[in-house]
Amino acid sequence: MNVIETTGLGKAYGKSWALRDCKLDIPEGHLAALVGPNGAGKSTLMNMIAGLAVPTEGTVTVLGGYPAGSPRALDSIAFVAQDAPVYQNLSVSDMIHLTRNLNRRFDSDYATARANELAIPLRRKAGKLSRGQQSQVALTLALARKPRLLILDEPLAALDPLARQDFMATVMTAMADNGVSVLLSSHAISDLERFADYLVILSHGALAAAAETDDLLADHRVLTGPADEADRLAQTLTVVQDKRAAAQAHLLVRTADPGDPVPPGWEAHPVTVEELVLAYLRAHRKTPSAERSMVPR
């Protein structure tokens, strides 16, 4: 089952497109990272998946076919928006009670136990909590709904390194315990390389790549060799990124088969997640139309 499916998805605000022509099929069970620079369309995509924004074109369904925003979709998706909005003037226990009243399924005991575990005072007003604690409260409320899909929009941006670690630990525990699938966005890929087993790379309102992290890594490598042969070689390969030094060329290429032979006189190196993401973001920025055809599906 795909937890998220989009076809030809696009959203325009006025005359400008925040996202266009987005085709995604994210299978269940993953921690999918939605990466891209600020303004790439990450929040737009997430808002549409969460049912907050209505697509201008295309379709988006969740959890095996429910239209985003439909009652059944809302029932099984928990969304924590950017900056983890909580009612500043309500206490943590009020927020727990509030969320329970707005949902059919809610595990108050879990929420209370989590707050105690995190040493967050239940009577304290949410506005008086630190950013890290507010994020944890928002995440706890979301998880207490026992969702099948958890959507987190830039949850780590405002957190210090320790709070990031705590936050991700909570997410990973929920994945292990309840099998919840997660879509998490970030503009900093370094936050996610350790966790994400599925990557969705957005750039300038378009999908640059989307696949399982391991598949992406296996399908790409960096070829290093003499610069004067690079042009000829590049014509026979799918080059994502082409970096030239004086005498040497570094080509980040996509290979159909990881067992493909390395051209004589060249050396092959595996790519890291960060290299790969940055390469796609750069390539996409330069020649968006050419890159479309290279999107691994």
Partner 1 sequence: MTALILPPGAGADTAERSSPVPWHGMLWVTWRQQRATLVSVPVVLAAAAVLLVIAGVRVRADYGNLILRGDFNNGDWAFAQAMDFLMQVAPVLIGIFAGAPVLARELESGTFRYAWTQGLRRERWVIAKLALLGAFSAVLAGVFGEVFAWFFQPFISAGDTSVTNGLVFDTRPVVFGAWALAAFMIAACSGMLLRRTLPAMAVTLGVYLGLSLLTGSFLRGHYPVSGFWPAQSFECAWLVVLSAALIVVTARLARRRAA
Q: Does 188 bind partner 1 (CB under 8 A)?
A: no
User: Which part of the chain contacts partner 1 (CB under 8 A), choosing from 60-68, 218-226, 239-247, 248-256?
Assistant: 60-68
From 79, 167, 198, 280, residue interacting with partner 1 (rule: CB under 8 A): 79
From 8, 37, 59, 102, residue interacting with partner 1 (rule: CB under 8 A): 102
Shortest Å, Cβ 188 to partner 1: 21
From 25, 59, 72, 179, residue interacting with partner 1 (rule: CB under 8 A): 72
User: Which part of the chain contacts partner 1 (CB under 8 A), choosing from 72-80, 189-197, 207-215, 230-238?
Assistant: 72-80
Binders of partner 1 in range 120-179 (CB under 8 A): 138, 145
Whether the CB-CB separation of 283 and 291 falls below 8 Å is answered with: yes
Residue 16 and residue 130: Cα distance in Å, rounded? 36
From 32, 86, 150, 192, residue interacting with partner 1 (rule: CB under 8 A): 86
The widest CA-to-CA distance across the chain, in whole angstroms, is 69
> How many chain residues bind partner 1 (CB under 8 A)?
43
- Residue 20-39 contact track with partner 1, rule CB under 8 A, x = bound: --------------------
87 vs 173, which CB is nearer to partner 1? 87
Q: Which residue has the tokens 């796609």?
A: 280
* CB-count exposure of residue 214 (10 Å: 0-12, 13-18, 19+): exposed
- Per-residue HEC secondary structure of the chain comes to CEEEEEEEEEEEECCEEEEEEEEEEEECCCEEEEECCCCCCHHHHHHHHCCCCCCCEEEEEECCCEECCCHHHHHHEEEECCCCCCCCCCEHHHHHHHHHHCCCCCCHHHHHHHHHHCCCCCCCEHHHCCHHHHHHHHHHHHHHCCCCEEEECCCCCCCCHHHHHHHHHHHHHHHHHHCCEEEEEECCHHHCCCCCCEEEEEECCEEEEEEEHHHHHHHEEEEEEEHHHHHHHHHHCEEEEEEECCCEEEEEEECCCCCCCCCCCCEEEECCHHHHHHHHHHHHHHCHHHHHCCCCC
Q: Does 98 bind partner 1 (CB under 8 A)?
A: yes
50 vs 120, which CB is nearer to partner 1? 50
From 12, 52, 234, 278, residue interacting with partner 1 (rule: CB under 8 A): 52
- Which tokens is 97 given? 């009670």
From 19, 35, 78, 230, residue interacting with partner 1 (rule: CB under 8 A): 78
Shortest Å, Cβ 91 to partner 1: 10
From 25, 105, 108, 179, residue interacting with partner 1 (rule: CB under 8 A): 105
From 19, 22, 26, 53, residue interacting with partner 1 (rule: CB under 8 A): 53
106 vs 280, which CB is nearer to partner 1? 106
102 vs 188, which CB is nearer to partner 1? 102
Q: Given the rule CB under 8 A, which residues bind partner 1?
A: 1-2, 47, 50-54, 61, 63-67, 70-72, 74-79, 81-83, 85-88, 90, 94, 97-105, 138, 145
